[in-house]
Amino acid sequence: MRKTLVVGNWKMHGGKAFVESLLSDLKSLGPWSSDVVVCPPLPYLAQCERLLSGSPIAWGSQDVSAHNGQGAYTGEVSATLLKEFGARYAIVGHSERRTYHAENDQLVAAKAKAALAQDLIPIVCVGETRAEREAGHTEAVVQRQLGTLIRNLGARIGEVVVAYEPVWAIGTGLTATPEQAQEVHARLRQQLLAATPAAAQVRILYGGSVKPENAAQLFSQPDIDGGLIGGAALKAADFDAICRAGH
């Protein structure tokens, strides 16, 4: 059985006092049966390393450069640099990066490959817009996104985490029903298994207005292995409740 993974994506929220308070609260509430990760804005990675070392909570970044090592890439942060702060995960291809920064499938795959090269686990996001869903293109969109990743990573596809995040459900209060989410997750699982049997252990997360009220029902679906949590990750009690909804 795949162990539930719950990842808190703080997006562009933070502040030293906020981080100190939130992480102190979370440490007092854990441990959980789920694996738990927080992904703060980059300036707070060092603070996470200091506060979370030795705890059951892992930490990661919300993005990573496709360029590794060091070099003349102003504004970029490589997996090599992230690893120095104890990061274990890196979110890549979040819909906000695809929308606001014009990241395409090929760049997302390159970022995932760069993360794996430094033994960071990429959490690779796929998902359709509302217009694409209403046009009946959900399956085509997510399979195109995942297919590019599979072609670029080859045998290492079994080492990633995939996050299905319907764009229309992010930060809107709308949520795919457990049945809708499971249908897409099952399709993604089939596509992964066609690439490698090792993909049976790949965890596929759901992201899109996950809350304490719906987490258990979502996580009970056979191909939903946890969540990529946005707003609820900023409140210790809510995030704790979601973490406890796993197995």
Structure tokens, 15: 């502040």
Q: 96, 132, 165, 185: which one is catalytic?
A: 165
pLDDT in tens, 117-170: 999 999 999 999 888 888 888 889 999 999 999 999 998 999 999 999 988 776
Cβ atoms 219, 211 nearer than 8 A: no
16 by Cβ neighbours in 10 Å (0-12 / 13-18 / 19+) ranks as exposed
Please enumerate, by residue number, every residue annotated as part of a binding site for substrate.
9-11, 171, 209, 230-231
195-240 pLDDT tens trace: 988 889 999 999 988 999 999 999 999 999 999 999 999 999 999 9
Rounded Cα distance, 87 and 81, in Å: 9
Query: Is the CB of residue 205 less than 8 Å from the CB of residue 161?
Result: yes
Ordered structural domains, the chain, with CATH: 5-243 (3.20.20.70)
| pLDDT bracket for residue 173 (50, 70, 90) | low
User: What is the model's pTM?
Assistant: 0.95
Catalytic residue among 94, 103, 132, 185: 94
Can you say which residues are annotated as belonging to the binding site? 9-11, 171, 209, 230-231
Question: Can you tell me whether residue 122 is helix, strand or coil?
Answer: strand
Instruction: Quote the DSSP letter at residue 3.
Output: P
| Residues 204 and 163 sit within 8 Å (Cβ to Cβ) | yes
Three-state DSSP class for residue 123: strand
The token pair that represents 111 in the structure block: 């970022």
185 is catalytic: no
Q: Tell me whether residue 139 is one of the annotated catalytic residues.
A: no
